[in-house]
Amino acid sequence: MLLNLTILPGDGIGPEVTEQAVLVLQAVAAAFGHDLKLQHKNIGGAALTASNDPLPPDTIQACLSSSAVLLGAVGSPAFDHYPNHLRPEAGLLRLRRELGAYANLRPAICFPALEDCSPLRSELVRGTDIMIVRELLRGLYFGAPRSITGEPGSRIATNTMTYGEQAIERIARVAFDLALKRRKKVLSVDKANVLECSRLWREVVTRCAKEYPSVQLSHMYVDSAAMSLVQRPKDFDVVLTENMFGDILSDQAGGVVGSLGLLASASIGGAVGVYEPVHGSAPDIAGKGIANPLGAILSAAMLLRHSFQLETEADCIENAVSLTLNQGARTSDIARTGQGQVSTSEMGRRVVAGVRN
């Protein structure tokens, strides 16, 4: 099969971890007889520096003409004081929108070898296997109007949360379809005691659930879901939620299973899927060669599964990651005191070795 990919390394630790994910993809392609065609393009701060645009036209064209996009991370403190449209993050948001990627899948799995990395007691976190389904193109991130107006001292900032029935229904279907292949439980997270958007959300999700009689649907307010996520993470299966709640809960889920560095994501539903680790650009450790590449590597597995239906190849990467962890390889984020630490590239090399086995 031809695997025609656009690679967007981006900012901070993005290039380091993406490099390892690409090496793993090359190993899988070689092992299974696929043809890997890669195009590297700029996004985020890297693109702002190169061409003053966080998502240059040739980047978006390359993405649209490929079958999937592997992204590292965007974000850099150098652009903190820039207006919104000239921040690295604006490039990522525009990419999601231009590609129509409305469904963000963020699995949070507790690898048996890493039970003791969680700040929670191992018996609480053992067996945790959550799939967060985050709506990615609506809500506060994209709602209009948005502005900061007025004179210094009395300025007013506005953001708008909007959700239409169709946008809720299509993301709900993604969650229910995924639940059918898992433990058949969907928890819909909202703030229906306060927000109109959430009341409509709950109504539409409940209606949609009638088409999935074998799936058990429950609802929770986001504040209470945040508490339960640390009290009993094992009880969660598919978590369906709107854009910003999903942003927050997915980082929290990363903390629960031990490290954000392990979390992968898929942004799908549109013309081309985008796959990226959840961790972000982590400027504090960029360039040191210590970042955990497993989130990026596991994102490459999601890419093979969701954009190419290459289930065996995706499993192969995930098994190689488990094996590598079982053998004791730890980057600094998941190493316990006294445990030896491996570099970004060494971690990648070990996964590649596992793939070749």
Q: Which residues bind ligand IPM (CB under 6 A)?
A: 74-75, 89, 92-93, 247, 278, 280
The whole-angstrom separation of Cα 310 and Cα 306 is 8
Sign (positive or negative) of CA dihedral 268, 281, 2, 108: negative
SS3 assignment, position 156:
strand
Q: Residue 184 half-sphere exposure, CB side, CA atoms within 13 Å?
A: 6
Q: Does 247 bind Mg ion (CB under 5 A)?
A: yes
223 catalytic, yes or no?
Answer: yes
Catalytic residue among 41, 163, 190, 191: 191
Pick 10 or 354: Cβ nearer ligand IPM:
10
102 catalytic, yes or no?
Answer: no
58 catalytic, yes or no?
Answer: no
Q: Choosing among Mg ion, ligand IPM, none, which partner's interface includes residue 75 (Cβ < 5 to 8 Å by kind)? A: ligand IPM
11 catalytic, yes or no?
Answer: no
Pick 247 or 318: Cβ nearer Mg ion:
247
Q: How far is the CB of 302 from ligand IPM (least distance, A)?
A: 14
Binding pattern for the stretch 188-227 against Mg ion, x by CB under 5 A and - elsewhere = ----------------------------------------
The whole-angstrom separation of Cα 43 and Cα 55 is 5
The whole-angstrom separation of Cα 61 and Cα 80 is 27
Q: How far is the CB of 104 from ligand IPM (least distance, A)?
A: 8
Q: How far is the CB of 293 from ligand IPM (least distance, A)?
A: 17
116 catalytic, yes or no?
Answer: no
Pick 56 or 354: Cβ nearer ligand IPM:
56
Pick 215 or 298: Cβ nearer ligand IPM:
298
Nearest to residue 93, comparing CAs of 160, 141, 51? 141
Angle between helices 14-32 and 344-356 (to 10 degrees): 10
**Residue whose CB is nearest to ligand IPM in the complex, by number:** 89
Pick 29 or 278: Cβ nearer ligand IPM:
278
Contact indicator for 137, 95 with CB cutoff of 8 Å: no
**Per rule CB under 5 A, count of chain residues that contact Mg ion:** 1
Catalytic residue among 223, 235, 288, 315: 223
Pick 115 or 247: Cβ nearer Mg ion:
247
Q: What secondary structure does DSSP assign to 281-323, as a single string?
A: --GGGTTTT-S--HHHHHHHHHHHHHHH--HHHHHHHHHHHHH
H/E segment holding residue 72: strand 68-73
Q: Choosing among ligand IPM, Mg ion, none, which partner's interface includes residue 72 (Cβ < 5 to 8 Å by kind)? A: none
Q: How far is the CB of 244 from ligand IPM (least distance, A)?
A: 8
Nearest to residue 185, comparing CAs of 225, 235, 255, 241? 235
For 164, other C-beta atoms within 10 Å of its C-beta total 11
Active-site amino acid positions? 141, 191, 223, 247, 251
Contacts with Mg ion, residue ranges (CB under 5 A): 247
